[in-house]
Amino acid sequence: MKMCYNRRKSRLIIFFLFPLTNCRALSQAPARHEKPGVHIDLLTKEESLSLGQRVHDEECQTGFQNYGRTSAVQNAPWSDDDFVSRSVGQHNAGPDETDIHDNSDVIFQSKEPLISNEDCQALIDEARNAITTGLELLKDEDLADKEGRRKNDPTNSELGEARVSTLPQASEWLTKELQRTFFPILQNRFGVRANQLTLHDALIIGYGYFGNGARSQPVHRDSSLLSLNVALSPRSDYTGGGTYFEALGQQLHQEQGHLTCHAGGIMHAGTGISQGERWVLVLFVLDESRPQLARRCHFLGMDAQRNGQMDLAQTHYQASLGVQPTNHLVYKDLGRCYHNQQQPDNNLLLQARRCLAKSAQLYPLDGEAVLGVANMLAQARRPRAALRRLDTLLSLPSFSDGQFLSPETAWLPLKSFGWEARVLAVQCALQTCAFQNNPEQALAFLPIAKQRLETCLKVSPSPYLESMMQSLQNMMIEK
């Protein structure tokens, strides 16, 4: 039994399959590409890799057409003293870690503003006008239907963001800054060549703008080799906010005009704001010499899986793992793929559990993978094994009671994972105690279960949790 916190109704809902990996690239995953003379369902791993290369070449070509090609940079005028550096640790920079020559595990933040306040405000104004215009057009649902927009496929305006390529003044400004500032900095910090870099996408995002759009994001990887963001708003314009880096276990903040850059594969999220508006410029950077085939085959697999093409999805996932065998997100999605077969037999369920376990082993910070394994173990009537997984997860600093209860932890999905893990751990503890013949051994599980349940009740009291608490207290008396 899998449980998930319904944030709107503050209750437990039962389901088993959690959604596909949360990341911006899901909304931008490549559409299905038919290869001439080859049926899409019969692709081999080699053809999957070839398809990934083709998608990369097309994206780079579009980027160079939109923003031109930067000249070679000899001596960039920056040094280590110009940045604050934080390492997420080796093997935490994603599947393209080895494609980045230097500092793939490092997050850099400029100590001084690199963009003027006037330029920041001009970018905000143009993006705000574009978002406002887009929202006004969408008020007419008939117009939206004529344009073929699906109601479950929100536009950029509804997400509170604007693509720079659609903003004439911002696009002109960015083309110059890519050559003058952004690409030279990436060459200086990561050892890539500025004249081989281009943009997959560039967005101006308004968190909390007019109450619409994003107030936070889930933890994700970017669809880029390198990512760069610039704070456009003064810190005084909003409360909360920042960027949460999962491997650091903390949020990073920056002042207006300051820049943060990092490998796109580092797991991170835009954290929520409680009031005001927070505007950021985000650049997703590609290198034409580094096709990122592991990531691209992964995305092709997700696309196939959403279309119900499970065999094709498995081919893409296996191709991705052939390039980079330590990509925990691929193992997680492959596990879903095995489980999502129409009638999965015990062998497929075992493979699904092993894939999720491998994902959790490669990246223990991924609460979703650990919860997936724990739920499958609980379903298989192995509550003690599930509880061991959950104990390990809840011992991590990111899932501590302090983080869970702190009002400063504005990123709601992290709280949701913490809530779900605690409730499932309590259920597994109760089931373990019910199976124990030794009263002393059974009692050992109950105090920590009671503490976890009390923590959940502080965050979201409900009749369901109160009933569980009553059952727990009765069991402590009986034992």
- Model pLDDT for residues 152-167, shown as the tens digit of each residue: 566 777 777 899 999 9
Nearest to 47 by CA among 353, 304, 288: 304
- Model pLDDT for residues 349-405, shown as the tens digit of each residue: 889 989 999 998 898 888 888 888 898 888 888 999 999 989 988 888 777 777 666
Q: Whole-angstrom Cα distance, residue 162 to residue 204?
A: 5
Provide the token pair at 1.
């039994």
Q: From residue 314, how far is each of 47, 81, 154, 255, 332 by CA, in Å?
A: 13, 46, 29, 44, 12
Q: Whole-angstrom Cα distance, residue 417 to residue 420?
A: 5
pLDDT, residue 297, reads: 95
| Average pLDDT, integer, range 414-420 | 77
pTM to 2 decimals?
A: 0.79
Question: First CA to last CA across the chain, in angstroms?
Answer: 26
Residue with tokens 């649902």: 141
370-398: burial string, b at 16+ Cβ within 10 Å, e else: bbbbbbbbbeeebbebbbebbeebbeeeb
Q: Is the pLDDT of residue 6 over 70?
A: no
Confidence category of residue 145, pLDDT binned at 50, 70, 90? low
Q: Are strands 250-252 and 243-245 parallel, antiparallel or unpaired?
A: antiparallel
Q: Which of 137-141, 169-173, 183-187, 446-450 has the lowest mean pLDDT?
A: 137-141
Angle at 200 between CA 195 and CA 201, to 5 degrees: 120
Q: From residue 168, how far is each of 174, 205, 438, 443, 454 by CA, in Å?
A: 10, 17, 73, 67, 54
Q: Whole-angstrom Cα distance, residue 475 to residue 393?
A: 25
Residue with tokens 């030794």: 438
- Model pLDDT for residues 445-476, shown as the tens digit of each residue: 888 999 999 888 888 888 888 888 888 888 77
- Model pLDDT for residues 254-299, shown as the tens digit of each residue: 999 999 999 999 999 887 787 888 999 999 999 999 999 999 999 9
Confidence category of residue 172, pLDDT binned at 50, 70, 90? very high
Q: What percent of the chain has pLDDT over 90?
A: 42
Confidence category of residue 442, pLDDT binned at 50, 70, 90? low
Provide the token pair at 17.
């399959």
Provide the token pair at 7.
């944030």
Q: Whole-angstrom Cα distance, residue 204 to residue 181?
A: 18
